[in-house]
Amino acid sequence: MRIMRSTTLARTFLTAIAVAGLATPTVASATAGADAGSSRTSLLGLPGVGGVNGVGTNSGIGGLGGTGGAAGANGNGGIGGDGGNGDGSGSTGGAGGTGGAGGANGNGGSGGAGGTASQGGTGGKGGVGGVGDAGTGITGGKGGKGGASTAGGIHKGGAGGAGGAASPV
């Protein structure tokens, strides 16, 4: 009799625990709910992809840097990609990519740096800064730096890129 009573109590106790466990939300489900309700809008535009390096043993030209991504709401534009490096004597570095446009109330992204030239070539020109968001008067991005030239000679670094336009109010 006593054994039956204790077995019945044990079953009742286990059933109660199981039901309570089902009713209690797990940490994983609570986290998933919070994630689902949260904002995932990126504030910054993605940076531009770097230009490929110049090919060839003589007068290689570095690739143009990619344009920076446009920003999400209230964000700044992405930075332009750097120009590719020149490869070989008399080579020219690639120009830096243009900065991405600013999102609402955001600044334009900076232009990418010009690529470096090897063996006395000319450094690439810096990228142009991105445009500020239209209608807010937010400033444009800064121009990218000109690329350096190694081994000097008569060659020099590339010019810096122009700053991006500030949008009209």
Give pLDDT, residue 23.
40
Q: What local confidence, expressed as pLDDT, does residue 163 receive?
A: 62
Say how far apart CA 82 and CA 67 lie, in whole Å.
9
Predicted local confidence at residue 26, as pLDDT? 36
Beta-bridged to residue 58, according to DSSP, are 89
User: Coil, strand or helix: which one is 61?
Assistant: strand
pLDDT of residue 43: 60
- Domain spans of the chain? 2-32, 42-169
Residue recorded with tokens 């797990």: 26
* Distance, CA of 99 to CA of 106 (rounded, Å): 13
Average pLDDT by consecutive 10-residue portion of the chain (169 residues)? Answer: 50 45 37 38 65 61 79 79 79 82 79 79 80 69 76 55 61
* Cα–Cα dist 82/102, whole Å: 19
Residue type, 2: R
Among 80, 79, 66, 76, CA closest to 42: 76
Count of positions (residues) in the chain: 169
Give residues with Cβ within 8 angstroms of 65, minimum separation 6.
Answer: 48, 49, 50, 51, 80, 81, 82, 83, 84, 94, 95, 96, 97, 112, 113, 115, 127, 144
Note if the pTM is more than 0.75: no
| Structure tokens, 144 | 């990218």
The answer to whether 86 and 120 have CB atoms below 8 angstroms apart is no
Q: What's residue 66's pLDDT? A: 81
